[in-house]
Structure 1
């Protein structure tokens, strides 16, 4: 499916449970709906255990949306495709670049995300079962590639 939503906050804002829940109920829900060709299948949703993601408000929103929340152990960036795959690739792309302002950064990031082929994102998702297995084998400890 690829990236369906990228959110850039202004300097004065932070993500809290109310913000995140509203995002799920509006933009993300609609983007998931528009990407799916057939209705009926439930959404398997994966996010990390950041406080806004695990807050009661957010959990109630996910329940209301009838999404299946995939388990994610605390403090496990090894298990989030965005952390172990996407952000590293994006960071490599941006390395050494200089930007005139925040809008230029945003433009560059969005452009890079859009240029990635479909199989780029599928690869990150396909890596999950092996990463889960490594996490179990390491007793939940951090592991190297």
Structure 2
């Protein structure tokens, strides 16, 4: 299974609620850049899951209008919520993209790659592409790509 963690792009600091925060002009550019990078690499059957926050919806819509809102991915979600939504390690699809938030996505990356419960930082608009596989009867996680929107 491929699990792609995509942090929402830069958003305004304040709004009527946290879920209502919108992308900034810079954030829209970040989302477009990251989406362009992903578009050239994602398989056509990739399943895309997004938090219900406006900033994640705006980020994912730079890529496609074919995504699912998953309330369990809202800000403050646990790493386990992300893994359950994606069906890790077998996957609810061969490739699952999760568009979400910090510190949750950083916790997921640290748990899968290092087996630690620590907060790794994922840059706004950044993408971590992880692959779960089995080798010699043991599960492994391979880092396929880590990209910032300014490098996409």
TM-score range, shorter chain: 0.3 to 0.5
Q: Higher helix fraction: Structure 1 or Structure 2?
A: 1
User: RCO (CA 8 Å, sep 6+): is it higher in 1 or 2?
Assistant: 2
Higher Cα radius of gyration: 1
TM-score by length of 1: 0.38
Give the TM-score of the pair, scaled to structure 2.
0.37
Question: Could you say which structure has the higher strand fraction?
Answer: 2
